[in-house]
A = this chain, B = another copy of it.
Amino acid sequence: MRNLLKDKKLSETPFRKEVLAIFTKYNNAIPLSIVEKDLKEYNRITLYRTIKVFVEKGIIHEISLSGEESNYAICQEECDIGSHQHQHIHFKCNMCGTISCVKINKFPTIQLPEYKIDQLEIQVTGLCKKCNA
């Protein structure tokens, strides 16, 4: 397992390792509130700064759904500083509330004449595997 902190040229502090471990542990996107619950004790301000720098460095990415608090998930390899490229969609289950990044085979493209398309983000709500079973 690669050392994300070193890779991204961030100092390896106990706190950052701890936060990173939490994001790694979950397979889904999680809101700050869950990170906070998993940390035994922590400093609000440091946590905010940690999240911020993780997003900037492309370690995690933010998922904003309408009416939801922001969620964060570990980035795939293709993410880099300042530019998050997703070959996945963001899925919110209406039953269990889980938000996850789901890889799909053929990522749709759209036609927008006269526009120039940079990034495309797809957010889907419905029932996840588990809840649909």
Q: Flag the segment in A4-12, A16-24, A40-48, A106-114 that touches B.
A: A106-114
- List the number of copies, as a whole number: 2
Contact string against B for A residues 33-67, beta-carbon threshold 8 Å, 1 for contact and 0 otherwise = 00000000000000000000000000001111111
A89 at the interface (CB under 8 A from B): yes
How many residues of A are counted as interface, with CB atoms below 8 angstroms from the partner's CB atoms?
A: 39
Is A119 in contact with B129, judged by CB distance below 8 angstroms? no
Which residues of the other chain, B, contact A91 by a CB distance below 8 angstroms? Answer: 112, 115
| Given the contacts A61-B66, A63-B66, A66-B63, A129 and B102 also touching, CB distance less than 8 Å | no
Chain B residue at smallest Cβ distance from A95: B116
Which residues of the other chain, B, contact A65 by a CB distance below 8 angstroms? Answer: 64
Is A124 in contact with B102, judged by CB distance below 8 angstroms? no
Is B108 in contact with A104, judged by CB distance below 8 angstroms? no
| Given the contacts A104-B111, A108-B108, A121 and B124 also touching, CB distance less than 8 Å | yes
A120 at the interface (CB under 8 A from B): yes
Q: Which A118-133 residues sit within 8 Å CB-CB of chain B?
A: 118-129, 132-133
